[in-house]
C-alpha cells in the first residue's frame, strides 16, 4: 500500500486575511535525478511518500525538514488532522497548522521546489484540479492546479483555522 503525508500551513497575512502556504512543484527532481512530474502545479506546503518502517508523524517531520528546512520543520508541533483518505491501494493523511507570518519566513526551500505561493482565503475559488495532460506539460501560467484531495484539505484547513484562531 502506498502511504503519504502532508501538511498545509495556514497563516494570517499582514492585512488580517487567512492564507494557505502552497508549494509550487519545480521542474527537476534532484533526489531522483530526473524531470519533475506536474511542473508548476501546486501542492500543500509539504507532501511526500512514507519510507519503509515510517509512521505518519515520522514521515511528516522528515518531509517538512527536506522540503522546508529544519528550522521550519520544528514548527510542526501543535498540528491537527485535516484530511485522512484510505483505500485498499493508498493511504494519505494531511495535517494542518497555523503559523504566524514571521514563522512562515523561516521556510527554506529544497532545490526541487518551484517556490512558495500564498493563497489568500478569498482566492480559494480560483483553484483548479490537475489534469492528466499536466503531468508532462505542467500548469498553465498563473493557474493554481492541485490534486482534488489537496484542494479538499485546503478548504478543510481554512474551516478549522477560522474556528480555532
| pLDDT recorded at residue 25 | 92
Q: Quick one: which of 82, 89, 73 has its CA closest to 156? A: 82
d(CA 52, CA 71): 25
Name the class of domain 2-164. alpha beta
Q: What is the mean pLDDT of residues 11-27?
A: 94
Indicate the pTM of the whole model: 0.90
Neighbours of 89 (CB within 10 A): 7
| pLDDT recorded at residue 164 | 65
| pLDDT recorded at residue 135 | 95
| pLDDT recorded at residue 75 | 61
Domain boundaries, given as residue ranges, for the chain: 2-164
Say yes or no to pLDDT of 73 above 80: no
Say yes or no to pLDDT of 47 above 60: yes
Per-residue pLDDT tens over the stretch 75-96: 656 788 999 999 999 999 999 9
d(CA 75, CA 164): 18
CB 12 within 8 A of CB 99: no
| pLDDT recorded at residue 76 | 57
Q: What angle (nearest 5°) sits at the alpha carbon of residue 3, between those of residues 18 and 161?
A: 15
Per-residue pLDDT tens over the stretch 111-161: 788 899 999 999 999 999 999 999 999 999 899 999 999 999 999 999 988
Per-residue pLDDT tens over the stretch 28-40: 888 788 888 999 9
d(CA 30, CA 10): 28
Amino acid at each position: 500500500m502506498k502511504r503519504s503525508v502532508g501538511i498545509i500551513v495556514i497563516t494570517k497575512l499582514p492585512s488580517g486575511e487567512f492564507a494557505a502556504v502552497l508549494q509550487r512543484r519545480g521542474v527537476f527532481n534532484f533526489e531522483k535525478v530526473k524531470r519533475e512530474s506536474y511542473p508548476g502545479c501546486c501542492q500543500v506546503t509539504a507532501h511526500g511518500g512514507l519510507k519503509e518502517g515510517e509512521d505518519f508523524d515520522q514521515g511528516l517531520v522528515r518531509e517538512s525538514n527536506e522540503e522546508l528546512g529544519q528550522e521550519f520543520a520544528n514548527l510542526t508541533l501543535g498540528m491537527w488532522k485535516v484530511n485522512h483518505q484510505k483505500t485498499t491501494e493508498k493511504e494519505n493523511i494531511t495535517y494542518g497548522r497555523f503559523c504566524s507570518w514571521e514563522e512562515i519566513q523561516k521556510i527554506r526551500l529544497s532545490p526541487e521546489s518551484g517556490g512558495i505561493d500564498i493563497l489568500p482565503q478569498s482566492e480559494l475559488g480560483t483553484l483548479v484540479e490537475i489534469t492528466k495532460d499536466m503531468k508532462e506539460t505542467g500548469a498553465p501560467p498563473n493557474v493554481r492546479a492541485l490534486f482534488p484531495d489537496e484542494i479538499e484539505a485546503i478548504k478543510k484547513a481554512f474551516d478549522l483555522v477560522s474556528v480555532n484562531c
